[in-house]
Amino acid sequence: MSSSSGTATRRPSQMFRNLNAKIASIPMILTALCVFLGGTVWTIVYSFTNSKLLPRLKFVGLDQYERLWSAPRWLTSIENLFVYGILSLIFSLVIGFLLAAMLDQKIRFEGVFRTIFLYPFALSFVVTGLTWQWILNPDFGVQHLVRSAGWESFTFNPLYDQQIVIYGILIAALWQGTGLIMCLMLAGLRGIDEDIWKAARVDGIPMWKTYLFIVIPMMRPVFITTLVIIASGIVRLYDLVVAQTSGGPGGASEVPAKYVYDYMFLAQNLGQGFAASTMMLLSVAIIVVPWAYLEFGGRKRG
Amino acid sequence: MADVQTLNTVAVGIDPVADRLSGPQGARPKRVLSRRNIFLYGTLIFVAAYYLVPLYVMIVTSLKGMPEIRLGNIFSPPVEITFEPWVKAWATACTGLNCDGLSRGFWNSVRITVPSVIFSIAVASVNGYALANWRFKGANTFFTILIVGAFIPYQVMIYPIVILLREIGLYGTLWGLVIVHSIFGMPILTLLFRNYFTSVPEELFKAARVDGAGFWAIYFKIMLPMALPIFVVAIILQITGIWNDFLFGVIYTKPDTYPMTVQLNNIVNSVQGVKEYNVNMAATILTGLVPLLVYFVSGKLFVRGIAAGAVKG
Amino acid sequence: MKSFKLFLASASALAFSSMAGATDLEVTHWWTSGGEAAAVAEFAKAFEATGNKWIDGAIAGGGSTARPVMVSRITGGSPMGATQFNTGRQAEELVEAGLMRDFTDLAEKEHWKDVIRPASLLEGCTVDGKVYCVPVNIHSWQWLWLSNKAFEDAGVPVPTNWDEFVAAGPALEKAGKIPLAIGGQSWQTTGTFNVLIPAIAGKDVFLKVYQDHDAEVAAGPEIAKVFKAADDARRMSAKSNVQDWNQATNLVITGQAGGQIMGDWAQGEFQVAGQVAGEDYTCLPGLGVNELISTGGDSFYFPKLDDPDKTAAQEVLASTMLSPATQVSFNLKKGSVPVRGDVDVSAANDCMKKGLEILAKGDIIPDTNQLNTEDTNNQLNDLFVEFFKTPALTPEEAQKRYAAIIASAD
Amino acid sequence: MTSVSIRDLSLKFGALEVLKSLSIDIEDGEFLVLLGPSGCGKSTLLNCIAGLLDISGGQIFIKGRNVTWEEPKDRGIGMVFQSYALYPQMTVKGNLSFGLKTARVPRDEIARKVARTAEVLQIEPLLDRKPSQLSGGQRQRVAIGRALVRDVDVFLFDEPLSNLDAKLRAELRVEIKRLHQKLRNTMIYVTHDQIEALTLADRIAVMRSGAIQQLDTPHEIYNRPVNLYVAGFMGSPGMNFISGEIDGGDSPAFRFAGQSIDLSTYPASAPIKSGPGIFGIRPEHIVSGDAASVEPYQATVEIDVVEPMGADTLVWAMLDGSEFRFRVDGQTGMRVGDHVRIGFDPARASVFDTATELRL
């Protein structure tokens, strides 16, 4: 041993600790910084310009935002997203959980039912939209069927009625998405210790109470994953609307993501599209960033 | 006694050990024809019908001729079954001057999906592993940005990515599209893998370090073989997501490399006179066939994989 | 042909293998309906006759789906060989950004200035005195297409102008017909309104509003009359549950609807369906009130490319598209009017002949695509799609919003 | 010669100081036990020695080499974990040879070493099984084998027996002791079980909230705990404590509730001063019945609870308001309510200053 026990080695540079882990994370770091953060900053900067077809740095202050908030279509879009978002969140969670709870009752043909509930998730929103547009078409879909069965005054044409068109979209969205939610919930239920059920039975607690007060609180991580999936889907709602109604009738089913796309690419008014993007990013940031930071930012484990 | 027998019959077919994760654990049943069971199965069958109707309508419509569609309602079974719409959708439907249906798009989709799935999962699994086990300084900040990124609508990012791909010279290439899919798959997949690797006992990781294994040795020899269930989930999610993608497919490729979904859109929207609903439906089913098959074949693995770690916290 | 030969020479000097032979040239467009596809085929045929290969890049779903793709690809550095845009301001910025190819030499050599009429078409392609695109056809919006069968069924004579048509509305409805077919796509509702302006209020008002962007006129009594007419149109089209323009046209073809306000491209659909003008259907230019037509249309732009073979092929394609033979065969299928005044159009049907006459008389207005930016058009689309589908939105209220859009237009 | 030497080691997580400037020197071949309740930092310290946690300050030497910033694999250590941490997808043989393979040891040498280790631990029949096919005891044996096979200087054990049932725990405990006697490697062993500590250790370091309370032989720690904490933690059942007053001076005594215990024979480290104090005596140092009559201090107590434990019986009683336990023979006939004479020698007791909690 040449190095006597008295010598002190200096703390090596932090740069090279876990060097391999850092190298392996380069794609993630680049994506986070260049795409998500960089793209966001870029979008925000250009939202203050009057860029038309191509991005140009001619600043016009808040003009784009003033126009955005006075556009009836944008207001409709926000309102639609709000209604759709709340209903979609509630129904996805409730239906997903109820289906999972029913499948968890030691039933026969569980696999068959599970596959039936899950298969729509394999289909794209475009396919979902087309199919439901077809089923909800008043001239040959459900309304036609009921009317030809004798109930002449029956009216069910959500895609052609401005007041309820957003519910027509919701029906299709739930059809497509609840299977995955059910799957997540089912996985969560299977992760519950069986002793809990024994304890509840011994204590004579009714089943619904056990679910509500014991099981659901224990499934917090599942609900968080589910929430991320549902919520990110809500903000991104676009394909389904385009495939089902193209925003119609009369712009009654417009959504913010479509506003962004249309103004960026159809109207060739990038500035306006970026302003709408910024508003979306802002609302996402207000809701998601504090939560994500609490959930993932702190030093957990250990 | 009757109760016990019922229980036994119900338990048949469920291997209590092997299927621990996928086997039922809820409250146990009492009698097959109890009021509760009638309610349970009744509800399940009713809901299943709601989920099946669109598939039924798609299949039935695709087997009808156009005159029959115009007359009958969409729910009635075909009087005369014809496979012509399927042939047309696959091989002869026209978009502009190209009259080769979806057939070309199928192979394009395969060519896009395979490398995208492999690449995006490779990157995300390494990310998740690094985040769960190596936690270098700042890692959580990047991860938080990534999770917030999961909420950014794709439309918002189209333009920055066009510029990005142009700058690195990959616009319009297959690799450009692979990168785009990897970027947008990264948040959810990384979350999935991170959660899974976090649920692996940390001592295992420590033991491997004491044994002299480095970052990659631990990943390939210890973590990877243990993570198969979550890989199945990731593969299923990515195959469906990428196969079904339309937006990136149309914007970041060229006509001769258009994926199936873009061709589906072309067929469905190329209205020549009247809408050929039967052809549209056949094309729709054909396009959805690959992800559907994936689900039908591996649905059980999917649930098991999710249970194995995706939902832990 | 000099520059073309120059290109050929340099290309073959660079590589023997890449002779002028079959150069693939990708052409993107959104012509996917029956009549449109048949017309595109004429271009492709003529181009392939020159020994090159036409790679068809059709994107279905109309300009609104296709244009983002085209713009992204051009700005993303992966341009196609040639691409369609509407004649007008859609590609203005791409030209300004130097992404498009300058065809001034070819235009001078082939005397485009002399053969293309009206001159406004080539002006639309000209930026700073240089020619950047090739107009291929003239489309006019101002047509009312009527189904003779529908009126026969309703027991009323086929109208000869807008007012008679409105008067016949109740009779059509009684016979279970949709009086006026309008597709759900927003550009169709805006188009309908823009056709009503010159018909109801006259050419001057149209130009004041769209050329000068005079908000006072837009808020004035003349436009109020137009909104009244639009209100009639809204009532008559209430039951029209279709999305695409050609589905709406199909309602007219099959006699389910009385009429449709649509551009002359609808003629292609009648033709594909084997219908004869005057017998099966009737066309009223300028809604039968004020016989004038707009001179919009389609143009092809050619992005700058690095490959010398493709650059040469671009030139061949541009030249081919404007050649007299192609102009005739293409436009007959498309239902549009050739941009050349020196071609033989005796094969044209009645409706097209009417259009040619009006054109010859010079009763023309520019197309809104030439006057407005896409931004303004899109705002108008938002307004009119809402107006036509929302009975609760009064004409007065809509006119207020209309005037505001015009005021902010540039 | 010192085998492992820790100098001023400290570790902070943000503002939280987990390890507070620890210094320990461990002799070659010594068996050191880190003992303490959960959360005292003993496992953290072990992880620092292993290099699995980056420390905030101080240095670590192994075999005279400064390894403070070396990778775990370069420190010449082997480690055994509480949850065994066997690689589930590898066979026992795979588990044993993984580290050697990583270090690129020649294949025949790996085979030789694995065979030898398997022989030492008597796990030869298990070599081709997967961990999921093994019992808990077998798994832990494999885990020990994994550390053993690498021929290292220092073994680190992180609560290796906590997941086993009582019987297996006792068996493996002896086995580890035997292993140590045979190999004479340096071993550092973390546990919260004082029986394990007392039976295995050459020296024990009792830890509390990141600091070492006492580092000494098991005998010293058991008999002469430096403070109230160590006294209370060591021994089962725990030491009896009585609060009262200390009388200093020439004939020192401990007074409580009218009673007085003579401390003149107490081996104090310094002259005893007056003041509030705590008197501690282990249950096993109290005798009862006739034997009590020879002890310097005697008292009569009423029996509260009797806990027969087989070999002996634990008796709970009240001594003038203080709860009191003592150990008697398993065959005793004592009953609840009986009045019994007890006695002990204050020289075997420990007396603490109430304020500083330090032993006098």
**pLDDT of residue C106 exceeding 50:** yes
**What span, in angstroms and rounded, lies between the C-alpha atoms of C43 and C58?**
13
Chain A residues in contact with D68 by the CB 8 A cut-off are 8-9, 11
Average pLDDT over residues D352-359: 89
| Inter-chain touch C34–B169, beta carbons under 8 Å | no
Helix (H) or strand (E) holding B289: helix B277-305
Domain at C2-139+296-359: CATH code: 3.40.190.10
3-state DSSP helix/strand/coil % of chain A, to nearest 5: 70, 0, 30
| Chain B touched by A242 (CB under 8 Å) | no
Q: What average pLDDT does range C63-83 have in this prediction?
A: 85
Q: So what's the pLDDT on residue B48?
A: 92
Rounded CA gap, A1 and C94, in Å?
73
Least reliable range by pLDDT among A70-84, B15-29, C386-400: B15-29
> Token match 């950004």: residue?
C97
Nearest 5 degrees, angle CA A202-CA A204-CA A207? 110
Report residue B10's pLDDT band, with 50, 70 and 90 as the boundaries. very low
CA quadruple A135, A136, A141, A142: dihedral positive or negative?
Answer: positive
Interatomic CA distance for residues A239 and A257, integer angstroms: 9
pLDDT in tens, A54-103: 888 889 888 889 999 988 899 999 999 999 999 999 999 999 999 999 98
Which chain D residues are closer than 8 Å to B213 by Cβ? Answer: 73, 98-99, 102
pTM of this structure: 0.82
Q: For position C266, what pLDDT does the model report?
A: 86
Give residue A48's pLDDT band: very low, low, confident or very high (50, 70, 90). very high
The pLDDT of residue A17 is above 80: no
pLDDT category of residue C406 using cuts at 50, 70 and 90: very high
D211 lies in the same domain as D276: no
For residue B2, give both structure tokens. 């009757």
What residue type is assigned to position C227 of the chain?
F
> Tell me, what's the pLDDT at B132?
87
Q: Which chain A residues are closer than 8 Å to B53 by Cβ?
A: 135
Domain residue spans in chain C?
2-139+296-359, 143-294+372-408
What is the reported pLDDT for A300?
Answer: 45
Q: Note the pLDDT tens digit of each residue in D153-164.
A: 899 999 999 888
With 0-12 / 13-18 / 19 or more C-beta atoms within 10 angstroms meaning exposed / middle / buried, residue B83 is exposed
Say how far apart CA C63 and CA C88 lie, in whole Å. 14
Chain A contact for D71 (CB, 8 A cutoff): no
* D110 min Cα distance to partner chain A (Å): 27
DSSP 3-state assignment of C99? coil
Supply the pLDDT for residue B192: 85
Report the candidate in D80, D94, B272 with the shortest Cα–Cα distance to residue C268. B272
- Chain A residues with CB inside 8 Å of C185's CB? 246
Q: What pLDDT is stored for residue D5 in this prediction?
A: 92
Residue D248 lies in a domain: yes
pLDDT of A1 above 60: no
Domains C2-139+296-359 and C143-294+372-408 share a fold: yes
Question: Which of C287, C314, C289, C282 has its CA nearest to residue C300?
Answer: C314
Q: Where are the domains of chain A?
A: 68-297
Taking CA atoms, C57 is separated from B224, B290, C307, in Å, by 43, 25, 19
Q: Burial, B49: exposed, middle or buried (Cβ in 10 Å; 0-12, 13-18, 19+)?
A: exposed
How many whole angstroms separate alpha carbon B293 and alpha carbon C157? Answer: 58
Q: Which two tokens stand for residue C82?
A: 């040639």
Dihedral sign (CA D226, D228, D233, D236): positive
Check residue C405 and give its pLDDT. 92
Q: Are B211 and D99 in contact (CB under 8 A)?
A: yes
Segment among A136-140, B161-165, C29-33, C136-140 with least mean pLDDT:
A136-140
Q: Closest-CA residue in chain D for B216? A: D102
Q: With respect to residue D234, please indicate whether it lies within any of the assigned structural domains.
A: no
The type of residue at C101 is R
Q: How many CB atoms lie within 10 A of CB B28?
A: 13
Among B162, B270, B274, beta carbon nearest to C60:
B270
Partner-chain contact C80 B256, CB within 8 Å: no
Asked which of D162, D197, D229 is the last residue of a domain, the reply is D229
B52 to chain A: which residues are within 8 Å by CB? 116
CB C49 within 8 A of CB B277: no
- Backbone angles phi and psi of D16, in degrees to 5: -85, 120
Report the residue of chain C nearest A261, measured CA to CA: C68
Any idea which of B50-64, C240-254, D207-221 has the lowest mean pLDDT?
Answer: C240-254
Q: A129 or B306: which carries more pLDDT confidence?
A: A129
- Which residues of A fall within a CB distance of 8 Å from D5? 5
Per-residue pLDDT of B111-138, as tens digits, reads: 999 999 999 999 999 999 998 888 777 7
**How does residue B26 score in pLDDT terms, banded at 50, 70 and 90?**
low
- Which chains are within 8 Å of D by 3+ CB pairs? A, B
| Of the partner residues A71, A248, A265, the one whose CB lies closest to the CB of residue C184 | A248
Domain boundary among D229, D252, D283: D229
Contact (Cβ atoms closer than 8 angstroms) between residue A181 and residue A226: yes
For residues C101-124, average pLDDT = 87
> Of D209, D229, D249, which one is at a domain's C-terminal end?
D229
Whether residues D70 and D170 share a domain: the answer is yes
* pLDDT score for C396: 92
Mean pLDDT of chain C: 86
- What is the tens place of the pLDDT at every residue in A155-200? 888 888 888 899 999 999 999 999 989 988 888 888 787 788 888 8
The confidence score (pLDDT) of residue C6 equals: 44
- Do residues A101 and A208 touch, judged by C-beta distance below 8 A? no
- Looking at every residue in chain D, the average pLDDT score rounds to 89
Distance separating alpha carbons of residues A271 and B159, to the nearest angstrom? 12
Exposure string of D228-264, with b = 16+ CB inside 10 Å and e = fewer, is bbbbebbbeeebbbbebebbbeeebbbebeeeebebe
CA distance C291 to B169: 53
Poorest-pLDDT segment among A34-38, A186-190, B267-271, C198-202: B267-271
Q: What is the rounded distance in angstroms from the CA atom of residue C344 to the CA atom of residue B233?
A: 65
Domain enclosing residue D251, as ranges: 240-353
Interface touch B254/C75, C-beta < 8 Å:
no
Residue B20 has pLDDT above 70, yes or no: no
Cβ–Cβ of A5/D2 closer than 8 Å?
A: yes
Predicted pLDDT of residue B272: 60
CATH number for region C143-294+372-408: 3.40.190.10
Please name the residue of chain B whose CA is at the shortest distance from the CA of residue A175: B51
Would you call D172 helix, strand, or coil by DSSP?
A: helix
Give the phi and the psi of residue C257 in degrees, each rounded to 5. -125, 155
Could you give the count of Cα atoms lying within 13 Å of C160 in the half-sphere of its Cβ? Answer: 0
| Alpha-carbon dihedral A275, A276, A279, A280, rounded to 10 degrees | -140
Please report the ipTM that was assigned to this predicted complex: 0.81
pLDDT digits (tens, 9 = 90+) for B201-249: 888 898 998 888 888 989 998 899 888 888 988 998 899 889 988 888 8
Q: A 205-224 residues with CB below 8 A of C? A: none
**Strands across the sheet containing D77-80:** D77-80, D154-158, D186-191, D31-35, D203-208, D211-216
Q: Which has more pLDDT, D239 or B68?
A: D239
Interacting residues of B69 by C-beta distance below 8 A, sequence separation 6+: A140, B61, B277, B278
C87 contacts C336 by C-beta, under 8 angstroms: no
What count of residues does chain B have? 313
- D21 lies in a domain? yes
A and C touch per CB criterion (3+ pairs under 8 A): yes
| Average pLDDT taken over every residue of chain B | 80
Signed CA dihedral, A192, A197, A198, A200: sign only: positive
Query: CB–CB of A35/A27 below 8 Å?
Result: no
Residue D200's pLDDT is 93
pLDDT for res B31: 54
Task: Name the CATH superfamily housing domain A68-297.
Answer: MetI-like (1.10.3720.10)
Separation of CA B37 from chain center: 32
Helices (H) then strands (E): counts for chain B: 15, 0
**Exposed, middle or buried: residue C121 (CB in 10 Å: 0-12, 13-18, 19+)?**
buried
- The full set of domain ranges for chain B reads 1-11+28-76, 104-310
Q: How many structural domains are present in chain D?
A: 2
CATH number of the domain that residue D247 is part of:
2.40.50.140
Say whether domain B104-310 belongs to CATH 1.10.3720.10: yes
pLDDT of residue A167: 92
Radius of gyration of chain C (CA): 22
